[in-house]
Structure formats: structure tokens, C-alpha cells
């Protein structure tokens, strides 16, 4: 989901330790703060947006490259008002749907909102097309004094070579509601209704995917194997349907972005949206693939530490023998807040605001959408966070991650609705940094050598999952888009995926055949093609930033907070250049892997 934000951090009071210990945090979110009675008042809310849209449309006859800035600038404010009102009701629809994808009322309302909002947004297409159409000199003149809107305006013009005519853009928008969006919703509905069965302590239990996933890290190897086998059995049973959904979405991506918009490649669409040069993404993926060996070495070391023989893909997330504790949600929240507070009281206060205002939905439930996300709606509103908390140590890291997304947007709340959240790669900065803060805090508090060994294993597991694994996801997507364009079958895709996974793990780690269906379980492939390199980008970036923090100490914190305050108001290249980073440099990405090498060597010395 998008990562968006709130403004109240300037006045958030510090909270004493004793008060924090006694506070109880709600585990269900409260959506009433988004929109007052949106289902009953939907027509009135939509009509209010329509009134603003009609007002915006009256400016069409006055649009001219030579127009005065005093006429142009109020249009930006009006467009922000329209976007904010639309975002509030769209957020309510998605969050309500996320609570329970089986809820027919929520599903119907989500569709109704998408159709109405798309129809209204279609009436504004003319502005972007006009803004892309004229000379740079007048564009620069009109952007003078636009402040936080400026990068948004620059971004619109960036898409000029790939923009269609106004009637074509309207058709694409309408088509996407009953086409791409509907097909993706079908994937969500089908997969979130899957039921899995697993024999635990002699009893067969029915469970959700989130509940099943907790057994992928179980202390008993047989349960880990059984959980993976059950996960892929269910998805394999539906591979015809899910595979055809994927192929439909890929063909739609190709038809719109390659055939109509004339992008050079499927991934180029995502790169332009992220404002990341193609060569920088290629450099990142190349360095990731070249460093697959360090994780092959890590998993061999882990096998020795965890007494796993032979090592296979079933066991790469096996817990260290010290890691058997289940955590209460309240304790997990306090652990995250304490770790944030040690780094920056300001960030801790913002994170606690999200929890205190009941903007987190924590527990897993039947029908609830899987995974976790942060949804920042508008500047000035506390973001909403969805978790599927089951009490694992990993769930605490996920909480730290999603609250990082939230505080990132909250720090940037002074910007416009169009520029307060970052493009995808930088949007992962604060979330991954939040995880590193938590991990570092836990490592510093711990004295037991074996427990510290377990924490280091956890860190390396997470780095693998969010760096190399994600990069290989994108490599598969690049191959899959090409294969589908050439008429490949779902089985062909499964074979290609399995070959890539086996290449990733090398000869020392067995990858069983059922992992050929893993790609069907990755929601990003269906919802956001090529999204996943943002995780590799963000994690390697954070390894570099965290190394700066370790060298500079407290003096680093203000620089980091300034980076967060920038939000998405400048290009990623500009933002990173301010801290001395060249994203197109393979040496930069390799420096992140150098840190990983050091961590693996540190672990090896504990054998």
C-alpha cells in the first residue's frame, strides 16, 4: 500500500517510562476518524467532491502557457482539496475491505467508491495533459513559488513521452476498474479465503495463511516442512486459476505500458514512476545477483549452528534454539517504542501516536487481508497500520517496520498530498531503519552469547528476505513478463521460477519441487509488478545509513530526520546526493553487501 502521513509531531509530549509500562494499547483500529458515516453519506460526500471538480473544470478555458501565476497557483490548492477528499473515502473503503475480504458490504462499497472516484478523476485528466504540452520556459515560470507542489508538477511532465490523448487516458482509467483492479481483487478474495490444515501435537487444525506461516519458523523441522507443503499444496490446487489471473495482469501491463505508452520494457514503467534511472535499477539487481554466494555461505553456517542436516529451503528460516518465546502484543508495542525512543524521542512519540489513536489493526482473523501495510491518507491525519500479529519475534520486527512507514510520512506532513510520501525505494528507508533500530537495541541489551547469536541470525534472515530474495523476485518478473508475451504456460512459469530459486541457493541447499508454486503466493507480483526491488534498494540503503549512524553517533540523527522530512518533495537522486550517495554506482550497492559479509564473518566466529 501507499505510505502516507500526519502532522501532530511538533507537540507530542514525552511519555515517562512508568506511564508507558502501565498503558494498554487497543488491538483493533477505529476507522471513524477517516470519514463520518461514509456508507450512509456516500452520495453527499461524492457530490461535495464533484462540486470541487466542476469548479476546477471551469478553469479549462483559461489554461495557457502564458497565464499569470496568480491564476495558476489556486488551481493547485483546489486539486489538493479534491485529492484529499477522494483519498479519505478511498482509504475507508480499502481499510474496511482489508478487515474482512469476505464482507460483501465492504466489497460492494469498495467497488462503488472506485467507480465513482475514477469517474470524477477522469474529468481532471485534461490538466495533466495540458501541463505536459508546452515549453520548459513557461513551465519553469509557472512553477516559481509553488513550493511543495513543485516536484509533483515536475513529475507530471516526466511522463510526457508516455501520455496518451485525453479520451484514451479516460478509457484506460475506466477500463482499469473493471479490468486490472477487478482481476487483482479477485486474486485477493480467492486467496484470502483459502483454508489450510496442519497436524499439530496430533490434532489436525484448520487455519488461515497467517497462522500457517508462523509454522514456517517453528522449532520443529517436521512442522516447518509440513507447513510449506500445505501452503504450496493449496496454491498448487488452484494454479490454473491463479496462474491465469497472473497472465491476464501481465498481458494488461504489456498492452497498456508497452503497446500504448511505448515504454522500452515492462520494468521501465515502474522505474519512471519511482523516478529511478533504469541503469540504477540494473546496477542494483546486478550487484545483488553477484552476491548470492554470501547468503549461500550464511545458510551453511546457520545449518551448523541450528544442527540442521541436510540444509534445504524448508529450513532457511529455522529459529535459533534460544528463540522459542511467544510475545504479547502489549509487550511487543512497548519494545518497539522503547527502541525508537532510544534513537529519537520524536520518532517514538509519533509511533506511539499511531497506536494511541487506535490506528492499528493487529490481530489475524479469518478473511482479513494477509501481510502488513501502512496507509497514510492525507497530511495531517495519523496513518493506519494493518498487522497480522501472532506473537512471533518476527511480528515485532514487522511492527517496527510498518511504524517506520508511518513516522516517515508524519515527519513530511508539511508537504502537499502529492509530495509528502516518498517514491517506493525511499519509502522503505524509515521502515527498514526502524527494524535496524529495534535489532540494535535488542543486541545491546542482551548479555548472553547464545541469545546474541540468535539475534544475529534473525538480522541476517531478515536481510536475506528483504534484499536478495526480493531482487530475485524482480529477476523472475522480468523473465515471466517476457515468457508470457511469447505464449508460455503457467507450468512453464513454474519451471522457470524453480530454476531461479535453485540458482539463488546453489548446490549446497536443496530446493524441493513444490517451491515451483511459490510465485503464486507473492501478492506484489499481482498488485504491483516490479515493486519488490524497492525492498532491496531500501535495505541496502539503510545498511549504508546505519553504518553512518554507528560512526557519527548522535550527530547523525538530525541529518536522518531531515531526510525523512523531505518526504517525496524531491527526486530520490537529489535526496540521496545530500548524504553523499550515488544510486547508480555499483560500488555503493556493494558497500551494503560488504556490511552483510562482515555480519556473516562475525557469525562464523561464534562457531
* Structural domain boundaries, residue 77: 34-163
Question: How many degrees, rounded to 5, is the angle at CA 555 between CA 19 and CA 575?
Answer: 105
Q: How far apart are CA 261 and CA 361, in angstroms?
A: 39
The residue-averaged pLDDT of 264-270 equals: 97
Q: How confident is the model at residue 442, as a pLDDT?
A: 85
13 has pLDDT over 70: no
- SS3 for 519-552 is HHHCHHHHHCCCCCHHHHHHHHHHHHHHHHHHHH
Mean of pLDDT over the chain: 92
Q: What is the CATH number of the domain that holds 55?
A: 1.20.140.70
Query: What pLDDT is recorded for position 444?
Result: 84
Of 195, 202, 228, 201, nearest to 214 by C-alpha is: 228
pLDDT at 452: 80
Handedness of CA 162, 256, 570, 59 (dihedral sign): positive
Q: Is the CB of residue 79 less than 8 Å from the CB of residue 124?
A: yes
| Phi–psi pair at 324, nearest 5 degrees | -125, 5
How many whole angstroms separate alpha carbon 264 and alpha carbon 139? Answer: 27
Whose CA is closest to 316, among 484, 422, 435, 460? 460
Instruction: Give the confidence band of 320 by pLDDT, cuts at 50, 70, 90.
Output: confident
Three-state SS at 362: strand
State whether residue 376 is helix, strand or coil: coil
Average pLDDT estimate for 346-357: 98
> What is the predicted pLDDT for the residue at 445?
82
Q: Where are the beta strands (DSSP E) in 290-449?
A: 360-363, 373-375, 384-389
Taking Cα atoms as reference points, which of 489, 477, 524 lies closest to residue 191? 524
CA–CA dist 395, 323 (Å, integer): 13
Q: Max Cα separation, the chain?
A: 77
CA atoms within 13 A on the CB side of 461: 21
Residue 46 lies in a domain: yes
Query: Which tens digit of pLDDT belongs to each residue from 520-564?
Result: 999 999 999 999 999 999 999 999 898 889 889 999 999 999 999
Q: Does 155 reside within a domain?
A: yes
Per-residue pLDDT band at 6 (split at 50, 70, 90):
very low
Q: What is the pLDDT of residues 193-236, one digit of tens each?
A: 999 999 999 999 999 998 999 899 999 999 999 999 999 999 99
Whether 61 is in a domain gets the answer yes
- Per residue in 187-204, pLDDT (tens digit) is 999 999 999 999 999 999
pLDDT tens sequence across 457-500? 988 999 999 999 999 999 999 999 999 999 999 999 999 999 99
CA distance 107 to 103: 6
Can you give the C-alpha Rg of the chain in angstroms?
Answer: 24
Contact, 255 vs 468, CB < 8 A?
no
Q: How far is CA 35 from CA 86, 297, 533, in A?
A: 11, 52, 34
Q: Do 295 and 464 form a contact (C-beta atoms < 8 A)?
A: yes
Model pLDDT for residues 574-590, shown as the tens digit of each residue:
999 888 889 999 999 99
The answer to whether 433 and 407 are in contact (CB under 8 A) is: no
- Is the pLDDT at 4 greater than 50? The verdict is no
Answer yes or no: is pLDDT of 337 > 70: yes
Residue 374: partners with Cβ closer than 8 Å, 6 or more residues away: 1, 3, 4, 383, 384, 385, 386, 402, 403, 405, 406, 409, 431
The model's pLDDT over 148-170, given as tens digits with 9 standing for 90+, comes to 999 999 999 999 999 999 999 99
DSSP assigned state of 238: T
Do residues 344 and 561 make contact, with C-beta atoms less than 8 angstroms apart?
yes
Tell me the DSSP string of 191-232: HHT--EEEEETTEEEEE-HHHHHGGGG-SSHHHHHHHHHHHH
Task: Judge whether 151 lies within some domain.
Answer: yes
pLDDT at residue 11 in the model = 28
Evaluate whether residue 95 is within a structural domain.
yes
Q: Label residue 401 by pLDDT band (50, 70, 90).
A: very high
Q: How far apart are CA 134 and CA 104, in angstroms?
A: 47
What whole-number distance in Å separates Cα of residue 583 and Cα of residue 280? 6
pLDDT for the residue numbered 2? 39
Q: Does residue 390 belong to any structural domain of this protein?
A: no
* Residue 282 belongs to some domain of the structure: no
C-alpha cell at 262: 511505448
Counting the structural domains of the chain, the total is 1
14 pLDDT above the threshold of 50: no
* Dist CA 247 CA 477 (whole Å): 11
Instruction: Assess if residue 504 is contained within a domain.
Output: no
Amino acid at each position: 500500500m501507499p505510505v502516507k502521513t500526519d502532522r501532530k509531531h511538533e507537540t507530542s509530549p514525552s511519555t515517562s517510562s512508568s506511564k508507558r509500562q502501565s498503558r494498554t494499547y487497543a488491538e483493533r483500529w477505529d476507522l471513524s476518524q477517516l470519514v463520518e458515516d461514509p456508507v450512509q453519506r456516500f452520495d453527499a460526500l461524492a457530490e461535495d467532491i464533484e462540486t470541487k471538480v466542476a469548479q476546477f473544470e471551469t478553469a479549462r478555458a483559461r489554461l495557457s502557457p502564458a497565464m499569470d501565476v496568480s491564476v495558476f497557483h489556486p488551481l493547485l490548492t483546489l486539486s489538493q482539496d479534491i485529492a484529499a477528499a477522494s483519498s479519505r473515502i478511498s482509504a475507508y473503503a480499502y481499510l474496511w475491505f482489508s478487515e474482512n475480504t469476505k464482507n460483501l458490504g465492504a466489497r460492494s462499497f469498495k467497488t462503488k467508491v472506485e467507480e465513482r472516484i475514477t469517474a470524477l478523476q477522469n474529468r481532471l485528466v485534461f490538466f495533466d495533459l495540458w501541463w505536459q504540452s508546452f515549453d520548459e520556459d513557461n513551465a519553469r515560470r509557472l512553477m516559481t513559488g509553488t513550493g511543495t507542489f513543485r516536484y509533483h508538477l515536475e513529475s507530471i511532465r516526466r511522463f510526457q513521452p508516455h501520455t496518451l490523448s485525453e479520451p484514451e487516458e479516460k478509457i484506460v482509467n475506466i477500463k482499469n476498474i473493471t479490468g486490472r483492479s477487478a482481476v487483482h481483487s479477485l486474486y485477493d478474495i480467492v486467496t484470502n479465503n483459502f483454508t489450510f490444515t496442519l497436524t499439530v501435537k496430533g490434532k489436525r487444525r484448520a487455519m488461515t495463511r497467517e497462522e500457517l506461516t508462523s509454522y514456517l519458523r517453528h522449532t520443529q523441522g517436521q512442522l516447518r516442512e509440513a507447513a510449506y507443503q500445505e501452503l504450496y499444496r493449496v496454491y498448487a490446487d488452484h494454479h490454473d486459476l491463479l496462474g491465469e489471473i497472473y497472465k491476464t495482469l501481465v498481458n494488461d501491463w504489456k498492452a497498456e505500458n508497452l503497446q500504448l505508452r511505448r515504454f522500452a520494457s515492462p520494468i521501465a514503467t515502474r522505474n519512471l514512476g519511482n523516478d529511478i534511472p533504469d541503469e540504477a535499477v540494473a546496477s542494483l539487481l546486478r550487484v545483488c545477483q553477484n552476491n548470492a554466494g554470501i547468503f549461500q555461505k550464511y545458510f551453511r553456517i546457520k545449518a551448523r549452528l541450528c544442527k540442521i542436516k541436510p540444509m534445504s529451503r524448508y529450513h532457511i528460516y529455522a529459529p535459533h534454539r534460544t528463540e522459542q518465546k511467544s510475545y504479547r502484543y502489549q509487550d511487543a508495542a512497548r519494545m518497539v517504542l522503547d527502541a525508537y525512543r532510544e534513537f529519537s524521542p520524536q520518532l517514538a512519540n509519533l509511533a506511539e501516536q499511531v497506536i494511541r489513536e487506535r490506528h492499528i489493526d493487529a490481530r489475524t482473523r479469518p478473511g482479513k487481508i494477509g501481510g502488513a501495510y501502512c496507509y497514510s491518507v492525507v497530511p495531517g491525519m495519523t496513518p493506519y497500520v494493518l498487522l497480522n500479529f501472532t506473537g512471533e519475534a518476527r511480528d515485532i520486527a514487522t511492527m517496527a517496520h510498518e511504524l517506520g512507514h508511518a513516522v516517515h510520512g508524519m515527519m513530511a506532513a508539511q508537504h502537499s498530498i502529492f509530495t509528502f510520501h516518498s517514491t517506493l525505494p525511499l519509502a522503505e528507508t524509515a521502515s527498514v531503519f526502524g527494524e535496524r533500530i529495534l535489532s540494535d537495541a535488542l543486541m545491546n541489551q542482551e548479555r548472553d552469547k547464545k541469545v546474541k547469536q540468535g539475534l544475529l541470525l534473525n538480522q541476517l534472515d531478515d536481510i536475506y528476505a528483504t534484499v536478495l530474495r526480493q531482487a530475485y523476485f524482480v529477476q523472475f518478473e522480468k523473465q515471466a513478463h517476457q515468457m508470457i508475451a511469447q505464449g508460455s504456460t503457467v507450468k512453464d512459469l513454474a519451471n522457470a521460477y524453480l530454476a531461479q530459486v535453485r540458482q539463488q541457493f546453489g548446490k549446497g541447499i536443496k530446493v524441493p519441487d513444490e517451491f515451483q508454486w511459490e510465485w503464486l503466493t507473492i501478492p506484489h507480483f499481482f498488485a504491483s509488478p516490479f515493486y519488490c526491488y524497492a525492498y532491496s534498494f531500501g535495505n541496502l540503503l539503510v545498511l549504508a545509513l546505519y553504518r553512518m549512524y554507528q560512526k557519527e553517533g548522535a550527530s547523525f540523527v538530525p541529518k536522518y530526520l531531515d531526510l525523512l522530512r523531505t518526504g517525496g518533495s524531491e527526486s530520490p537522486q537529489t535526496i540521496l546526493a545530500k548524504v553523499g550517495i550515488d544510486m547508480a554506482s555499483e560500488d555503493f550497492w556493494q558497500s551494503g553487501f560488504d556490511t552483510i559479509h562482515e555480519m556473516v564473518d562475525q557469525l562464523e566466529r561464534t562457531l
